Structure 1
Amino acid sequence: MARDYRRGTPIRASQKRKQNRSCVWWFLIGTAFGVLATNILSARHSDTSGSPETAAKPATETEKPHAAPNFRFQEILSDTQVDIGDSAPPPPPPAPRPPPRVEPNKPAAKPQTAAPAASTPPDDTVKPRSGTYVVQIGSFGRQADAERLKAELALLGISTNIQVATLSSGRVTHRVRTGAYASKQEVEKIRAILRKHGKDSMVYPIK
């Protein structure tokens, strides 16, 4: 037997120990793999055995018969039916008619009468006799102006008249005159009164 002179132990004894140790390690590793494989197989078996049950559950659930629908439509209709009776309610009375409209009597149309033609105011003068004098105080196109002057002269005590004359041009004039006077003295006396009150005058002899 060879010896290890440095350590002083035989070489074969050490090799046998190493072989024994390696066999123990391989045994332990094989045992561990066997246990692991057994656990994996048992776990797969439990999964496969449980899955059919879970898969069968929806099938059993779907296979449950549906409850028959409860149709109560006829019962509801029978409960809600109203007994109308043989006779219908009487119709409502007709609405009262409004009284006939009475139109007021229209006034009879008045016959149209022709408007009176415009007439010239009457001449209220007395035509003086020849040989006398007439004093004219004013001449106006409007009769209202002539009437106003006549009223002013009446306040002065002078009696006048309005003479309406148509000129050659066709214009109508209203002349305010006083007289006739038989003498020039009477004429001058009247003109003096008129001048005193700011009135102009003209003398016309009557032939």
Structure 2
Amino acid sequence: MHSTARSQRGNTLVGLVIGLLIGVLIAAAVAIYINFGPKPFTEEKNRAPARPAAQRSTPPTPLPGQPAEKPKLDFYRILPGGESASAPTITSPPKEPVASQQIYLQVGSFQNPADADNLKARLAMSGIEANVQRVDLGTKGIYHRVRLGPYASADAAEGLRARLATEGLEATKVKATP
């Protein structure tokens, strides 16, 4: 009986040593892999492009009726909480030849001016210039409309409307007389 207890103690000790050695070997292998293996998140100067040149993102091209120059973004004025965010925001649409009826795309109408400013900023990040119009609807209250345009033709407005649909935004055509 005395020898059986000694052999069990020896087996436990051997198992413990073998377990420790296996653990140390695994830890060493992981450390070597981390230190000397591939580094996916470091930037290499001679790395091949991840995408073919045809699939690279390009700045958004202006659509018919949109200005050709790059929009100037001043987030301190666009986002709520800026200097002009407390004052009522009324912007006039870009000057174009006056037609009998002008077509606008209305992307949203909000009672909270901050919501209208957030949508305007989201559109600006997509390269689309929007206008926020403050409108008093009498008993319904004051609303802030987010509109794009005016557009000279329904085709020009429809092209932008399709682009907005791909970005998850629903736009409604609105005809307005000057």
Flag the structure with larger Rg: 1
Under TM normalisation by the shorter chain, which class is it? 0.3 to 0.5
Query: So what's the TM-score if we normalise by structure 2?
Result: 0.46
Q: Which has the higher contact order (CA 8 A, sep 6+)?
A: 2
Query: So what's the TM-score if we normalise by structure 1?
Result: 0.40
